[in-house]
Structure 1
Amino acid sequence: MLPAEIPRRHFDVDEYHRMLEVGLLTENDRVELIRGELVDMNPIGVAHMSVVTNLTHLLVSKASKRGLMVSVRNPVRFDRDSEPEPDIALIASGPRTELPSPDDTFLIIEVSDFTLDYDRDVKLPLYAGACIQEIWIVNLQARNIEVHAHPELDTYREKRTFGRGEGTVSATLDTLTIPVDEVLL
């Protein structure tokens, strides 16, 4: 990041999409728009990929029973200057003519290996500010899953951590439980 005193050029979501349309960015560029800034996303390692794949497999049938879809590494439009691309989002089912909004998003999951501080210090407050009701952070280093629920301003009122031998229990989606051992093989 640049020092705060150096002026930065901020972008809104329309400008961000225009960069894609004219070829300044491509769908292969691993960036997301966070608070008006283009942020590089880290390369995906094997452990990260495995967890996203396991979670996707575990969530598909559970989500469809609730009228939700599993969206993997796709954007969610928050406001004029943020369009994050979480690892997994449970969104309202149905055909789409625009990107899902916070109102369409019921759970976001971030898989964190080297990005834990960024996910906790930047993305978690962003998600809370957008009123996403529940966020899971899969902490690959500590081998656990943090559940953050019930946003209030830029934080969450509730945080629970689930480890090996436990089932991760959703705070907002009734009966949604995912065994930690099936996520972190």
Structure 2
Amino acid sequence: MIRHRFSAEDFHKMAEAGILGEDDRVELIRGEVVELSPIGKRHAYVVNALVDLLSSLAGRAVLSVQNPLVLSPDTEVYPDLVLLKPPRNQYRDRLPEGKDALLVVEVAETSLRYDLEVKLPLYAKAGIPEVWVVDLEGKRVLVHRKPEGGAYREVETLGPGARLSFLGVEIPAEELL
């Protein structure tokens, strides 16, 4: 079987041509267009809770929800939430890239394996300093820090009763679980 690999530029041209619709839930992973699972009610609740809980960071970080993040010329993902380096206007004429991300959050209702095995190594390779994977089924948050190559050197598992902290904002883990 021969596979055709696409660049991020090709990916955008497909959207402009109507091949990919505005509502299609897809990402570009190492040149392949990958369909994402639908967003369930628990997933949507957690994303909204994160927006609420992290909104106090306005001015210190740019909150980007389910928007594109370019990790390489052939990889463009749509994390559930990204905190980007300010100022916001630097993203007016370009998409944010991995080097712009301070924190990426993925909420896994049915996508835990994909998030951990496919996306997490891409985030590490792009040098994203911190990634939270909210595992709704396992009732835990996996906090990944210190990227090196395609992996994170530090992984912390937090459950109910624990607190997540980022840029001085504290979030009780149970708010997300």
Residues 1:132 and 2:132 aligned together: no
Partner of 1:144: 140
Residues 78-117 of structure 1: matches in 2 within 5 Å?
Answer: 78-93=71-86, 94-95=88-89, 96-117=92-113
- Which residue type is aligned with residue 7 of structure 1? I
Q: Which of 26, 39, 46 is the aligned partner of 2:21?
A: 26
Structure-1-length-normalised TM-score: 0.90
Where has structure 1 moved over 2 Å in runs of 4 or more? none
Structure ranking higher in strand proportion: 2
Identity %: 43
Contact preservation (8 Å) 1:135, 1:147: yes
Count matched residues. Answer: 174
Distance 2:144 2:27 in 1: 22
Deviation at 1:141, TM superposition (A): 0.6
3-state secondary structure, aligned to 1:39: strand
Q: Deviations over 1:120-152 (max 9, x none)?
A: 100000100111111000000111111000101
Ranges in structure 1 where 5+ consecutive residues have no aligned partner: 1-5
Is it true that 1:183 corresponds to 2:176 in the alignment?
Answer: yes
Q: Name the CA distance, whole Å, in 2 between partners of 1:90 and 1:36.
A: 25
- Per the TM alignment, residue 176 of structure 1 is displaced from its structure 2 partner at its CA by 3.5
Q: 2:58 maps to which residue?
A: 64
Alpha-carbon distance in 2 for matches of 1:14, 1:125: 22
- Please give the TM-score of this superposition, normalised by the length of structure 2: 0.94
Taking only aligned residues, the RMSD between alpha carbons, in angstroms, comes to 1.1
Unaligned segments of structure 2, at least 5 residues:
none
The answer on whether the counterparts of 2:124 and 2:147 sit within 8 Å (CA) in structure 1 is yes
